[in-house]
Every structure is written in C-alpha cells, then in structure tokens.
Amino acid sequence: MEMDRFEIQRQQGEPPPVATGGQRWLAWRLRLSGRRPSRDLATSSERSLISPLMLRRPLVRALYWGIFSLLLLATVTTFGPLYWMVSGALKSNVEIFQTPPTFWPTHPQWSNYSNAWQILQLPLYMWNSLLLAAGAVVLQLLVSATAAYALSKLRLRGKHAIQFAFFATLMVPSVVYLIPQFVNISDLPLIHVSLINNWAGVWLPEAANAFNILVLKSFFDTIPGELIDAARLDGASSWQVFIRIVLPLSRPALAVITIFTVIASWKDFLWPLLVLSNSNLQPLLVALYHESGLNANLPFSYLMAGLVFASIPPILLFLLFQRQIIRGVNLTGLKG
Amino acid sequence: MLLSSSSPSPLSPPRESAPTLMSGAGLLAARGERAHRRQGPLTRRLWALWRQVQGYLFLLPALLIFALFVWYPVLLGFVMSFQSVDLINPATWVGWTNYRHVLADPLFAIAWRNTLAFTGYALLFGYVVPLVLALAINEMRHGKSYFRLAFYLPVMLPPIVTVFLWRWMYDPDAGLLNALLSLVHLPGRLWLEDPQTALPALVVVATWSAAGSTMLVYLAALQGVPASLYEAAEIDGAGFWRRLWHVTLPCIRPIMLLMLVLQIIATMQVFIEPFTITGGGPQHATLSVLLLIYTYAFQNADFGEASALSVMLFLVLAAFALVYMRMTSRLLQGD
C-alpha cells in the first residue's frame, strides 16, 4: 500500500496538517483496511469482563475451560451441516436416501463432483454469476462514487434535498416494491423497453444502493479539504480532483464496497429468478433452483455437489478478505 | 463556487487543463485566473452556473437510477394498488377493490399471523443466541478468531444452498436430524410435514444462517467497552455478575436495541425459507406475507392485489424503520 502525504508526515513525527479531519480520515482508513489503530487499543481489548486476577482461581479456570469446550462443541452446529453437504455429494444415489443415513459415505463417489460439473452445466452458470457480479461492481461503484463525491465535496444548490431523497430509500426495504419493480422492468416508462431476460434488469435496480453512497460519502467527508483546495489551486477540475485525488485515497472504502457487492450479487436469488427466465442467462443459484424442481431425473447427490460448488466462491472470498468483511459488517450493523 | 472549505480567497480557477504540480507556472496560472475573475459579473455568474451544471453531472447517474428504479416503483406501487393490473390488458382504475379483496381473503389473517409468529420465534431463538455467543467468545483467551470464523461461516453460504441443505437434513427418513435423534433413542419427527413444527423448523434455518453477522456486531460493541470501566468497577468491589449487569450490558444496550429493530424488520420479510422449503404448507402453516404477495402476483397474475398487500407491508415496515432511524440518529449524536 503506498503512502500518502499525511501518513509520511505523521511518521516523521510532524503533526498532521489538519488535526481533526486528518485524524478521523486516518482512523477510517485504518478501520477499513483492517489494521489495528494503535497498541493501546490492542491491549485494552484484552481486558474484558473476567479479570486476569479472577482467571488465576482454579474454579474460574475450570469454568473457563468448560465454556471453551462448550463453544468448541457448538461449532459442530455450523461445520456439521457443511460436512453433511460435502459428504452427501459423495454418496451413491441409493446410499443418499438410505434409512438410517450413513455418516461417512461407504463408497465415496468422487466422480459425482465432475459429473455434476458437466450435467448441471456449471461452467456456463458460474460464468453468468461472475459476469453479473462484475457488472454489479462496475455499475454500483460508478453510480455511488460519483454521487457521494458530489454530495461530499461539491457545493450544489438543493444538495440537502437530494441527499435526503437518497438516504430516505434506506428506510424502504426493496421487497415492498418488488411487484411494481417487476411491472416497471417489464415496461420501462417513456422508453417502453422491457428488461425481462436482460442482465440490465438485474444490474440497474441493484445499482440504486443508498447504503453505498452513505459509506462512501462519510469516507469522502474525512478527506481533508486542504488537499482538494491545493489541487484546485493548481488548476485541477472537479473531475480531475475526483479521479486523481479522491478515488486513489479512498481505495479501502472502495474495496469494502466491491467485496460486499460481489458477495451480495452471488447470493442474490429472488430478483434474478423473476427477471431471468431464459436459462442461458441465469446465475448459478437460480439455475440450481430450477434444476432441483424441473429435472426430476437429476441425482440428488449431483444437486448437493452443485451446492458445494456454489458455496466455494463466497467462502473463499470470506477467507481472503476476512478483516475487511468483518469491519464492513460492523458498519452495516450500525448504519444499514 | 466549488471550494468545499471556507477559504476566504476567491481562488477557484475553473481551468480544464491537466493539473500541474505546485510550481511557479501553476501559481502564475492561478494568478491569471484571479485577473480573469475580476471581469464583469456576467462572466462570474456564468462560471458559477457552469460549476452547478458540472456538479449535477456527477449526480446524474445516481439521480437517474434512483428515479427509475426506486422512487418511481415506490409510487407505482401505491398507484397499482388501486388498479387492476395483469400485464396483458391495460391497467384500469378500480378504487379500493384490491384492498377489499385482500382483506376478505382468509389467507390474509393466516399470513400475517404466521409472519408475526415467525418474527416472534426468530427473536426468541435468534436474539439471545448471538448475544450469548458474543459474550462468551469475547471472554476467550484462546481460539477467538477460530470461533468468530466458525460461527460466521453460515452467513457466507448463499441462501439457496442453506435451504436445500436444511430441507434434506429435515427429511424424515434420510435426514440428519432424525438419524441423530435415533442415535440417542428418541423418536424422529415429520419436521416439515407437521403444521406444529414446520414454522419453528424454518426459524431454525433462518437463525442458523443469520446469527453469525449479529454476533460480529456484538463482538465489535463488546471490544468497545473501555477497560477502565471494568477496572473501576472492580476497585469498587463489583463481582462478575454486577460487572456484567452494570458495565457490559449498559455499554452495548444501544446496539442491542438497534439489532432488535433490525431483526424485526428483516424477519418480517421472510420469504426464501417458506418459498423453497415448504412452499407455504403444510395447511398454510408457513405462508408468510411476502409469499402471499408473490402468489397473488405470479400465480394469480393479479398485480393490483399484490400491490395492495405490499402497501400494507410497507406501512408496517416503515413504522419500524422510523423507530430505527430515530435510534441511529440518537446513537450517532451520542458519539
């Protein structure tokens, strides 16, 4: 990660040029990029309800290890079903419906995975899911970053009214306008175009994401105004300030939004199900749903194998970007 | 005037050339702009106008998308609830007929009762579990990150995977649950076929897949409790339970309230579990409001009635959302 002016100056021991704005901004960057802000916090989080002194008592120690093993046991409830899915996909078509079920497949059929990969046409549907996610990221970043920049750094008439109109949509869950949205998509006003069976019908409605604007705007707000003024003095236009200063400095916030958009797009089900009835356009999860219902000849273990394949990308993303995701969840939990 | 800070100098050169570094040339250019700005008021007003236009160009994509895909459909929903819409014939105005039909439908009361029961069960299972998990994990000196990962994992699974997996585990013959019960010599159950257990069974699925993210929020809140408070309480002689009651819980109380409201809003929109696992059965025991809306629209092709029911759901959810907004603004002010 490259250094910016303020971090370099801070390292040299100089006070930051803008005390409050700069520090808040730095705190945000640290929070989003997942680094610990300071030693102090790391040590203070060690101190919790149970005091170190209490832990020296044998009874408390015993209790502590008791709770520890209880928690360990409880993780079986999350790993158990996952194991059941992965091992179920290895069972033969007879064994999978056997009563009582076997806990470990007697003759693991590793070919189930490769067969499912072909029969369920997973390459096609994975590719569709991937493209849907990529389009969602591009469109959402474009729409929310430009809007957040205008709301945060430009002086505009009527800005507050527009801001209110954006953020008020946070109060309206999208399912309550699911039906009119469907009618809307099937015949857009004025231009009378139908986006049914068109990826744009999935991309465009999800691009109206006020939460992204909120996160980006509050991040942009912490970028010191002096930095932008300096660039303007040098003759940069608002577009150049946006491209060359605001966006490069906001990489951590943009990364969080990208990760969340990819995961949300991959997991999305109801809306693509309604919009994309053409099976060549469907994302993986919608296709699996249809396969399970229509194709009664589909071996159940193949369906399970398909589900395993569908779970791998989000789990992989989580393992790779754990810190960003955890911080993002904390942001959404508080504000969205 | 686009300078966001309140700098007193009138230096806001509206130049469109590439930015130069803070060099003599740049400063000269800026000075040139100042001379330029001394020209008549008309030029200045034109520049101000150009600035506004430029700013609105940045807002344009979001304004278009929001207008077309949020504000318009929300309004359309209210309009459609007074119309007969089947997507084949042109819509006709029918007044309150849709509302009357929806209210007269025997499924209306069932769907609302089920949805409220779902929300109630979800709070019963789903409110305490993440809190207790977070409290316990926060005390752990070992394996903290493992626990966090293990309990968050189900959140990462796509919902369709979760529901298919659980439908199979609930299977009375080949399912995991009855197999485990028979291991300890307990009789199995028809989990999803019995109207008594079908709804709670779905709540378990929903809780399993959502508890992890609530837990993470609580964990973050618990780490924010200042150590000095614990130390002060300890010096005053407060034991474990009194520290929990008088230090920990009051510190995370705002977050707990927020989570409560968020969870109510989320669980009232329950759809995917009944839609894919039970189809609303048995005997409508798991029919939720959203599932009824879906049925009106995509099985009866009656988008007007579906919109009328959506409007009712909207009003209920908006009431909770208002509570949520008030709470967050109070919380943010408290910072």
Chain B: give the shortest CA distance to residue A112, in Å.
Answer: 17
DSSP string over A92-142: -TTGGG-SSPPSS-SS--THHHHHHHHHTTHHHHHHHHHHHHHHHHHHHHH
Would you put residue A121 in left (φ > 0), alpha (ψ -120 to 50) or beta?
left
B89 contacts chain A (CB < 8 A): no
User: Helices B41-66 and B24-37 meet at what angle, rounded to 10?
Assistant: 100
Q: Which two tokens stand for residue A97?
A: 């419906």
CATH class of B97-334: mainly alpha
- pLDDT of B38 above 90: no
Integer Cα distance of B220 and B224 in angstroms: 6
Q: What is the pLDDT of residue A137?
A: 95
- Compute the nearest-CA separation of A9 from chain B (Å): 18
Indicate the residue of A75, A180, A285 with minimum beta-carbon distance to B307.
A180
Looking at the fold, whether A196 and A314 belong to one and the same domain comes out as yes
pLDDT of residue B32: 46
| CA-wise closest residue to B222 among B251, B261, B188 | B251
What pLDDT is recorded for position A26?
54
Which A residues in the span 2-41 are in contact with B, Cβ-Cβ below 8 Å? none
**Digit-coded pLDDT (tens) for B171-217:** 888 788 888 888 887 887 788 888 888 999 999 999 999 888 889 88
Candidate from B30, B152, B227 with C-beta closest to A233: B30
Q: Which residue has the higher pLDDT, B11 or B103?
A: B103
> For residue A170, is it within any domain?
yes
Question: Of A54, A82, A117, which marks where a domain is finished?
Answer: A117
Structural domain includes residue A145: yes
Whether pLDDT at A333 is above 80: no
Q: Which residue of B has its CA nearest to A76?
A: B150
CA neighbor of A104 nearest in space, from A112, A113, A95, A93: A95
B165, A76 Cβ separation under 8 angstroms: no
Nearest CA in chain B to A44: B227
Instruction: Please report whether residue A280 resides in a domain.
Output: yes
Identify any residues that bridge with B92 across adjacent strands, giving them in sequence order: B84
For B58, name the nearest residue in chain A, comparing CA atoms only: A146
Lowest mean pLDDT among A25-29, A154-158, A295-299, B265-269: A25-29
Answer yes or no: is A20 within a domain.
no
Interaxial angle between packed helices B128-139 and B106-126, expressed in degrees from 0 to 180 and rounded to the nearest 10: 10
Minimum-distance CB partner of A208 among B66, B147, B313: B66
A292 is a domain residue: yes
pLDDT at res. A332: 57
Specify the pLDDT at position B92.
Answer: 83
| pLDDT recorded at residue A234 | 87
**Residue B196 Cα, gap to closest chain A Cα (Å):** 23
Of A65, A96, A117, the domain-final residue: A117
- Among B54, B98, B148, B153, most A C-beta atoms within 10 A, so best to mutate, is B153
Tell me the chain B residues in contact with residue A290 when contact means C-beta distances shorter than 8 Å. Answer: none
Cite the DSSP H helix spans in A12-96.
Answer: 19-33, 39-46, 58-74, 76-88
Closest partner residue to B26 (CB to CB) among A51, A150, A234 is A234
Instruction: Closest CB to A150: pick one of B5, B59, B151.
Output: B59
B56 to chain A: which residues are within 8 Å by CB?
150, 156
Residue range(s) defining the domain that contains residue A146:
119-335
pLDDT at A335 exceeding the cut of 50: no
CATH number at residue A234: 1.10.3720.10
Residue, of A292 and A135, whose pLDDT is higher: A135
Residues A80 and A196 in one domain: no
The minimum CA-CA distance between B278 and chain A, rounded to whole Å, is 13
Distance, C-alpha B175 to centroid of its chain: 32
Chain B positions in Cβ-Cβ contact with residue A80 (cut-off 8 Å): 176
Would you give the DSSP letter of residue B82? T
Q: What is the pLDDT of residues A113-130, one digit of tens each?
A: 988 898 888 999 999 999
| Residue A173 in domain | yes
Average pLDDT, chain A: 81
A26 located within any domain: no
Looking at CA atoms only, how far is residue A121 from chain B in angstroms? 17
> What percent of chain A stands above pLDDT 70?
83
Could you report the per-residue pLDDT of A267-320, keeping only the tens digit for each?
899 999 999 998 899 999 999 998 887 556 788 888 899 999 999 999 999 888
What are the φ and ψ backbone dihedral angles of B84, each rounded to 5 degrees? Answer: -100, 115
Where does a domain end: A99, A117, A135?
Answer: A117
State whether A110 and A123 are in the same domain: no
Cross-chain Cβ contact A77/B208 below 8 Å: yes
The model's confidence at residue B31, banded by pLDDT at 50, 70 and 90, is very low
- Residues A157 and A274 reside in one and the same domain: yes
| Average pLDDT of chain B, as a whole number | 82
**Per-residue confidence (pLDDT) for residue A162, from 0 to 100:** 92
Q: Domain spans of chain B?
A: 24-80, 97-334
Contact B211, B130 (CB under 8 A): yes
Question: Any idea which residue has 């909770």 for tokens?
Answer: B320
| pLDDT at position A175 | 86
Q: Check whether residue A124 and residue A110 sit in a common domain.
A: no
For A60-101, the pLDDT digits (tens) are 888 889 999 999 998 999 999 999 899 888 888 888 877 778
In a shared domain, residues A105 and A152: no
**Residue B293: is its pLDDT beyond 90?**
yes
What's the confidence (pLDDT) of residue A18?
A: 40
Block residue for tokens 């599932």: B291
CA distance A300 to A91: 9
Confidence of residue B334 (pLDDT cuts 50, 70, 90): low
Question: pTM for the full model?
Answer: 0.81
| The total number of structural domains that make up chain A | 2
Mark whether A79 and A194 lie in a shared domain.
Answer: no
- CA dist., res. B318 & res. B324, Å (int): 9
- pLDDT at residue B79 is higher than 70: yes
Residue at A303 is within a domain: yes
Q: Across the interface, which of B29, B76, B243 has its CB nearest the CB of A184?
A: B76
B89 has a pLDDT exceeding 70? yes
Answer whether A44 sits within 8 Å of B147, measured CB to CB.
no
DSSP state of A54: G
CA–CA separation, A244 and A251 (whole Å): 12
Averaged pLDDT, A213-232: 88
Report the distance separating Cα B94 and Cα B98, nearest Å: 8
What's the pLDDT band for B332 if we cut at 50, 70, 90? low
Q: DSSP H helical segments within B105-248, as ranges?
A: 106-126, 128-139, 144-156, 159-169, 176-183, 195-223, 227-235, 240-243
pLDDT in tens, B250-280: 888 888 888 888 889 889 999 999 998 888 8
- Tell me, yes or no, whether A160 and A89 share the same domain: no
